[in-house]
Amino acid sequence: MPYIGQSPSQVSFLVDTFNGNGSTTVFTTSVAPANTASVLVAISGVVQDPSTYGVSGTTLTFSAAPPSGTGNISCRYLGIPASGVTTTAYSTKTEFTATAGQTTFTPPSYTVGFIQVYRNGVLLGSADYTATNGTTVVLTTGATAGDLVTTISFYVSSVLNAIPATAGSVGSTYLAPNLTLSGTTTATTISVPTINTPTGLFSTNNAYSGIARAWVNFVGSSSPTINQSFNVSSVTYVSTGVWQVNYITAFSNTYYCPVVGTGNNSTTNYGNTIAIVNSVSQTQIVHFESGTQTNLGNNAYVVCFGN
């Protein structure tokens, strides 16, 4: 027989075999059938009516214990639910033999909009019946005695946890658990503490004490100019040879340690420079040459350590 497309192949139905003992009615299957109509059960070669057994998950229960026999119970699975699907994807066909003038028929529960109705093999249009409550089908015109009314209802399936293929479809609810480095964290924001604080990351390993809290390189004239700095807002000229360094963030106490230095054009008189701690937010430096306070022809340097 000719065919179009890929060559057909053969696949066997999954089968379980059990041993009856005349008393056991409950057996555990290797898969979970969709329903009783999805498993074909035979005992000693005789196919059983679905009304004589039931399935729930992987449990097969007979209304009466099968007789004793080795491998005499055969379960052939015609369909199992797909993984991650809320309801099984199959249809249910129900046939009714109408009485004269009958209009109402009661098929198994159905999803509104997913049912077809046939009368003597002819598919009826939506104007020929009403099916809006999920439990009954009502013909617009009463049937004739002996009419075959058939309903086919379709179960609607939806896949769990599917992510729509649209931008922004993944929100914080579906992100991995929060990552906490230190401090506070929300589902979408990781907060990292400031390193250079007494309570920050370095406070537990003494590294904080070895980091300069403030430093500045400035021209030591009557009009001081900052070349580069850290945590210094300005340098103020106080008087000859005296400048005041002003800090952006103040120290926690006045026991911080300022280290000062200067560079001078003179190659014979290097002079001395001292630091005076005014307050937690200010430090003054004083430069002397030959015992006299003197402005600099070059740069002055201040580096401060402390909390």
250 touches 280 (CB < 8 A):
yes
Residue 303 above 80 pLDDT?
yes
**Lowest-confidence range among 53-67, 88-102, 118-132?**
88-102
pLDDT, residue 173, reads 60
pLDDT, residue 205, reads 47
d(CA 180, CA 186): 9
Closest among 23, 11, 20 to 41, alpha carbons compared: 20
Residue 85 above 50 pLDDT?
no
Residue 90 above 60 pLDDT?
yes
Tens of pLDDT, residue by residue over 4-31, are 655 555 546 788 999 999 999 999 998 8
Residue 250 above 80 pLDDT?
yes
DSSP 8-state assignment for residue 163? P
d(CA 252, CA 263): 30
pLDDT, residue 172, reads 63
Tens of pLDDT, residue by residue over 40-53, are 999 998 999 989 99
| Mean pLDDT, range 222-250, rounded to an integer | 93
Closest among 227, 228, 279, 282 to 254, alpha carbons compared: 279
- What's the predicted TM-score (pTM) here? 0.36
Residue 148 above 70 pLDDT?
yes
Which carries the bigger pLDDT value, residue 170 or residue 234? Answer: 234
User: What's the helix, strand, coil split of the chain in %, to 5?
Assistant: 5, 40, 55
Length of the chain: 307
- Averaged confidence pLDDT in the chain: 82
Beta bridge partners of 250: none
Question: For strand 242-247 and strand 282-289, is the pairing parallel, antiparallel, or unpaired?
Answer: antiparallel
- For the chain, give the percent of residues with pLDDT over 70: 73
pLDDT, residue 239, reads 94
- For the chain, give the percent of residues with pLDDT over 90: 50
d(CA 76, CA 90): 17
pLDDT band at 265 (very low <50, low <70, confident <90, very high): low
> Which run of H or of E encompasses 218?
strand 214-219
Q: Cα 246 to the chain's mean position, in Å?
A: 49
d(CA 242, CA 255): 21
Residue 248 above 50 pLDDT?
yes
d(CA 92, CA 115): 9
pLDDT, residue 171, reads 66
